[in-house]
Amino acid sequence: MSCDGEVVGVLINGWRNRADPFRPRERHLATGIANATAVALDTAQLVAELQMANRMKSEFLANMSHELRTPINVIAGYADMLNDGAFGDVTSEAHDVLARVRSTTRTLRDLVATTLHLGHLEAGRDAIDVETVDVEALLRELASEIVASPAITLHWPEPSLALHVSLDRGKLRTILQQLIQNAVKFTDAGRVTIAIEHDGQYLTVTVEDTGVGIPQDRLADLFQPFRQLDGSNTRRHGGVGLGLHLVKRLVVLLRGDVRVTSQPGRGSTFVVTLPAPRAGAPESPLGE
C-alpha cells in the first residue's frame, strides 16, 4: 500500500481452499481496498502529527505566558510605587513617562492573560464554574479598571441594575473586558456604550462603539485567531488578534451566542447572549 509514492503498509490476501490465481476483478477490488487503506493510514498519521503540534503550541503558549507574568507584575508594581512617590518626589515629566510605562505594562499584562486563557481552553483545562454573579458589582469593577482616552465617553448601565444571575463569573468578566477594551481600542473619539438586558433566563450584553467599523467582507474572519483588520507593520492599533477569538471560544463554551453588526466609519455593535437564569431560578441549560 502506498500514498504519494511512499509505502505505508502491506495488504496480504489469500484463499485457504483455492489454488487458481485471483481473477482481474478480484485483483482490482483488492487494489482499491489497499489504496483506500493507504490514504486512510496516511491521513491518520497527519492528523496525529497535527494534534501533537497543536498540543505543543498550546503548552508553549501557556508556559511562555506563565513565565512572563512575574516580571511584568514586578515592572507594574515598581512603576506604581514610583508614581505614588514611594522613592521620592516625582516631577511632572516623570509622571508622564510613568503613565506610558504603566499603560504599556497593562497592555502587555492583558495580552499575556489572554494567551494563557486560550492555552487553558486549548488544553481542555477550563471548566465551567457556575456561581451567583452580582452583575452591577462586576460592571463597577470593570469601570474602575478600563482606561479610555479623554476623547472617548464610556456609557455604563444605570447603577441600580440589581441583577444577580447564575453564571461563570470569571468567564463573563473576560467576555465583557475583551469586548469593551476592543471597542475602546478602535474608537479614536466618540463613545462606547455598554447595555445589559435579562429576560429571566438569558443575559444579553451589548457593546456599541462609534469607532472605525469593520468592512462586511472581514466580518466572517473576525473571530479567527491572529486576525487583524490591518495586518501591516505600520498599523495604528496594537494587539495580535486574540481578544475576539477568546470571546468566541468562551461564549461557545457557555452555550451562548455572539453577533456583530458594523459599518465602516460609523462603528460596531457586539451582542452576546448567555444562558444565565436569575439566581434562585430553575437550573440553567449549562447544567443539563
- Same domain for 92 and 113, yes or no, is yes
Same domain? 159 vs 283: yes
Q: How far is CA 275 from CA 166, 174, 284, 288, in A?
A: 9, 16, 6, 12
Could you say which of 126, 141, 156 is where a domain stops?
Answer: 126
Of 126, 157, 185, the residue that ends a domain is 126
Give residue 240's pLDDT.
Answer: 61
Residues 102 and 135 occupy one common structural domain: no
- Are 260 and 205 spatial neighbours (Cβ–Cβ below 8 Å)? no
Are 139 and 99 within one domain? no
Same domain? For 137 and 202 the reply is yes
103 and 74, same structural domain?
yes
If asked whether residues 106 and 138 sit together in one domain, one would say no
Residue 15 structural domain: 1-126
Strands 152-155, 190-198: pairing is parallel
Could you tell me the CATH number of the domain that includes residue 225?
3.30.565.10
Q: Looking at the structure, tell me whether residues 182 and 217 fall in a common domain.
A: yes
pLDDT tens digits, residue range 125-156? 778 999 999 999 999 999 988 878 889 999 99
- Provide the number of structural domains found in the chain: 2
92-122 helix and 24-83 helix, angle to the nearest 10 degrees: 150
Q: How confident is the model at residue 198, as a pLDDT?
A: 94
What is the pTM (predicted TM-score) of this model? 0.68
The residue out of 126, 157, 182 marking a domain boundary is 126
Check whether residue 110 and residue 43 sit in a common domain: yes
Cβ distance 37 to 2 under 8 Å?
no
For residue 229, the model assigns a pLDDT of 63
Question: Which pLDDT score, from 0 to 100, does residue 19 have?
Answer: 66
Same domain as 112, residue 147: no
Burial (0-12, 13-18, 19+ Cβ within 10 Å), 172: buried
Same domain, 61 and 80: yes
> What DSSP character marks residue 23?
P
List the chain residues with pLDDT less than 50. Answer: 232-235, 282, 284, 287-288
